[in-house]
Amino acid sequence: MWVEQQLSFDRMHEKAKRILQVNAVVTSEAGIYKQAITPAPLARALMNDLPEVEGSLRVDVSGAVVKSEDQQFVEQGILATDPSFFDFFDFRLLEGNPATALSEPYSVVISEQMAKKYFGDEDPMNHSLRIFQYDPEGNGAEYKITGIIQDCPVHSHLRYSLLISFKTIEVAEPESLTAEGWRNNEYYTYVLLKPVASQSTVEAKFPSFLKKYLGSEMGKQSIRYQYFLTPLTEIHFATDVKYQMQPGTGKTYIMMFSAVALIVLILACINYISLSTAYSTDQFKEVGVRKVLGASKGQLALQYLFDSWLLAVVAMIASIAWIELSKSTFENIFGIQLTALYTFSNLCMLFGVASLAGIISGIYPALILSSFHTIGILKGQFHKGSFGVVMRKGLVVLQYSITISLIIGILVVRRQLHYLESKDLGFQQENLLVLASNGSPEVIPGYAGFANELKSLPGVAGIARSNTSIGGGLDRSSGLIENAEGNRIGISVYTARVDHDYLDTYKIPLLAGRNFIPGNAPDSSGGYIINEAATRFSGYRHPQDAVGQFFSVDGRDGVVIGVVKDFHYADLHEKIEPAALYLLNGYFSRITVRMDGEADKMSIFIANAWKKHYPESVVDFTFLDDRLQQSYKAEHRFSSIFFIFS
């Protein structure tokens, strides 16, 4: 069931074979990687320039506070997309016109679940939701409900709760469609190829296409893009492509689970063969009597083969009952909902596997039992022959070899998980509570009062602001750095805007230089704190050598004032690359609180302080170590199910 569901991702759409996602290979001094995100103007340019493209589609994925009267929640899976969304995909629109539902700015299509959540039994059509996104004033914008869409199927890489019109982004951020927009890789681009077009033909035109639109940009900076296409039905398996909407499942995992399941079945067959031959002496007299009464060798072999097949079919029926009993536990381990067991094709496949296992398991015992001579059986003389001995010994060796291999596999997986859980991340992740502002207009102006109240609590050891959160990855930018030879070279660098208390709150060790100083104007305008990876990239042998050197990100020229120990700003799937911290320019989206008391009790005090200072804003917080563990869900699930199977 699980393997079938994984292999069925995104195959329910009629045009699935012609829908492809545009991805990029990014090459810079820091290395080469693949990414799923692209610029907003790309979709329109592909339609205009490539005759093989029948349609194009842009998608942006985000989360935001959604409010309806006195109800407000933080909703994830908000997709900004074009009206062509309904031309590409076969998600059923229950109410509304697919041609116009997403044609106007500030229009929204909501899922069945969201309709019930916010409106109960009332018809939500032509009502509105206040969404705190793409609203210049920061007070939320009124989005008119223009449609209701079916809840998202579990086997879709597009996970939506709300669809808003991409026109909204064009109105709120008009620069996204200009030449400036080509520098901003934030959106997902899909193309629908014409029936006669091929993927290779389109990809062959990408080099000249990129030269036309990004040639000058790539000439200015030491970064190169190469576009390629990923078929819709392969997106779920493209785990080597960064920034996909949803974490996928590598085909290696699927193959390994399938292999382990097959191995378990083979072991069961071997057990049956071994036990059948070991206890065959109990049936010898029955065989002798049947032969005396005229039974032929073929009839006896067929009878025992039928017995084996019937036992396997009975086991299959018992297995269906076991599936029903264990299904919820399995779903909890994998975090998914299994469907479609009792389809005709699945039941036929299950019956076929059971029949095959029964027949294969019964062939050898049936041949052994039917091959003995009648007189020898009746006299109690059983000559088993050397082949039978070799066969049984070979089966035992195979069983133990498989078992030992699985035990080794368990140990390797467990050690890998222990490494993930015990690895030094370069900062102290325990007892950190991260609060998200979610675009609330109250949070930034009211921060001083909120922070002062928290600092007065005995269980609070630190508080800091930032524009992003460790664990989810930082923003990637292009910059310049002065290297050890005194030359300014291009650098691809991960960046975060932080305040003066950030290093102390996260306990990131400073190796050279100094921290940001409150009120220091040069720090605010051009001070940078970089990591060890950035100093190594620049050729400095010691962190101290980089302090005072020129550094620039996105045209913000300045100098390195400090160097910190390498820390994992993303999960351990990603290697540590050059990173830089610099001061906030007023805006921030995250508040991090370090606690030294009981975390659960302190989180209640912090939530109450939030409600006091920000009465109109949703309390949205997570423990950082919990968020980091979420990054390794796939590994934990793999370990659990591999352990159970083994």
pLDDT tops 70 at residue 163: yes
- Please report which confidence band the pLDDT of residue 361 belongs to, taking 50, 70 and 90 as the band edges: confident
Query: What is the β-pairing status of strands 71-81 and 53-68?
Result: antiparallel
Q: How many angstroms separate the CA atoms of 496 and 579, rounded?
A: 8
**Residue 376: pLDDT band with limits 50, 70, 90:** low
Q: Where does residue 6 rank: exposed (0-12), middle (13-18), buried (19+ CB within 10 A)?
A: buried
Q: What is the pLDDT of residue 466?
A: 95
In contact, 482 and 18? CB cutoff 8 Å: no
What's this model's pTM, rounded to 2 decimal places?
Answer: 0.82
Q: Pick the closest to residue 528 from 507, 501, 497 (CA basis).
A: 497
Q: If 0-12 CB within 10 Å is exposed, 13-18 middle and 19+ buried, where does residue 472 land?
A: middle
What is the distance of C-alpha 57 from the center of its chain?
Answer: 22
Sign of the CA dihedral running 220, 226, 232, 237: negative
| Residue 227 near residue 189, CB atoms below 8 Å | no
- Residue 530 pLDDT grade (very low, low, confident, very high; cuts 50, 70, 90): very high
DSSP helix, strand, coil percent of the chain (3-state; round to 5):
45, 25, 30
What was the pLDDT predicted at 386? 62
Quote the pLDDT of residue 439: 81
Digit-coded pLDDT (tens) for 13-35: 999 999 999 999 988 766 788 99
Q: Is the dihedral of CA 38, 40, 45, 48 positive or negative?
A: positive
157-171, 371-385, 514-528: least confident range: 371-385
Backbone angles phi, psi at 298, to 5 degrees: -65, -40
pLDDT at 76: 92
Please tell me the predicted confidence (pLDDT) of residue 280: 60
pLDDT classification of 222: cutoffs 50, 70, 90: low
**Side-chain-facing half-sphere of 485: CA atoms under 13 Å:** 4
Average confidence (pLDDT) over 507-531: 95
Selection from 211-220, 337-346, 350-359, 405-414 with the highest mean pLDDT: 350-359
Residues listed for the chain:
646
Measured CA to CA in angstroms, residue 35 lies from 23, 471, 519, 533 at distances of 6, 18, 39, 21
Q: Give me the pLDDT at residue 533, please.
A: 94
pLDDT score, position 420: 81
At residue 141, what are phi and psi to the nearest 5 degrees?
-115, 145
Nearest Cα neighbor of 303 from 229, 352, 366, 251 is 366
CA atoms within 13 A on the CB side of 408: 6
Average pLDDT score, the chain:
87
